[in-house]
Amino acid sequence: MVFESKAREPASLGGPKESTAARAVRRLIAQIEFGRITVVLPSGGHVQHSGTGAGPSATLVLRRWRAIRRLIGQGDLGFAEAYIVGDWSSPDLAALLELAARNIAALDNKISGFWPVRLLNRARHLLRANSKPGSRRNIAFHYDLGNDFYQCWLDQSMTYSSALYTDPEQTLEAAQDAKLSRIEDLLNLRGGEHVLEIGCGWGALAVKLARAGARVTGITLSSEQLAFARQRVRKEELADKVELELIDYRDVRGTYDRIVSIEMLEAVGEAYWPVYFKTLRERLSPGGIAALQVITIDEARFEDYRRTPDFIQRHIFPGGMLPTKAVIAGQARAAGLTLVSTQSFGDDYAKTLVEWRKRFLAAWPKIEAMGFPERFRRLWEYYLCYCEAGFRAGIIDVGFYVLREADANPGV
């Protein structure tokens, strides 16, 4: 590992404050093992470092030394917040975040933040627990930003979860339709089944399943989503086949031939995972099938992740918590369910996020006119790049998980 000085640093770098911060930067990037980084200092100087392993090449432009103080004191959450307020930038934000993700094991002890800060962040996260009132607040925080906002950059189906690219040349619209079709296949519909959709979003899947001959009950905690989805059902003349309700999954009664839940488990919260899987088991009719699409976190990262709330939990999905693949299998087993098949497609989520980001940035003038400030643009750009980086680095993944009751006949 070597440092390469690509530009002579101005005399101001010799000042006590700047030289101390510059040394901190050098010590930090010296931990990088995979890829290459160039840091542009506030003074105009450049510092570079190359790891011994292959990885992304990225540039960090420091506009204020405060960004480094936030990183050291508040960890990666502080660094994210420094980006949101403009303390640093990058010509390729996704590449920089992927570089950090691929080197997270080496960087962890340098960017974990001071323990009082970690404790405070943990306390804030716990206060956003997904009790029934808490879940309504947490869901509204993200999904009730307005249907007009989401229509600016989602595909026409308003599907806000990973697409499934069955062809590298597919459009986002085609890939989202392929994903919905795959879920229909996993549910093994034969006609006339009653399907419960936990977290029905804006109604795209409910409409598709109803067209396939199912009767669908969809539930959500977002009043904005509910209004849009109900309008969609009426427009498609499917009101006799689709019923949509504003209700918590814990309050659902009755049994269903099929249950589907797309990227909703992530919003349940660790304390409520047993309740969620117990609900699946209790609401599933004998011989029924439950199909989940879930974002998971790598097993090796889970313990650190569950102790220290990250940027997503603080600013995007309050109360959220990603499970691991082993957690899904274990929670299902404990609830009396059997995991019968899985299919991972994390690379497709990275592609989906790239397309969302392109559309979000292209639509920004329209979004800004709705009253969203520049700080919101930087927040969401960071969010989309942060998630893309996680999928590319393999820290997070997404997959389908098909469940049956443990004693069910697999031939049904």
Active site residues: 387
Residue from 380, 370, 269 nearest 315 by CA: 380
Contact assessment for residue 290 and residue 186, using Cβ atoms and an 8 Å cutoff: no
Alpha carbons 349 and 396: distance in angstroms, whole number: 10
198: exposed, middle or buried (C-beta count within 10 Å: 0-12, 13-18, 19+)? buried
Residue 412 makes CB contacts below 8 A (sequence gap 6+) with 287
Which letter does DSSP use for residue 166 in this model?
S
Sign of CA dihedral 102, 106, 111, 113: positive
Alpha carbons 84 and 90: distance in angstroms, whole number: 12
Instruction: Determine the Cα angle at 160 with ends 76 and 357, to 5°.
Output: 55
Alpha carbons 334 and 341: distance in angstroms, whole number: 17
Helix-then-strand count for the chain, H and E = 17, 12
Alpha carbons 126 and 271: distance in angstroms, whole number: 10
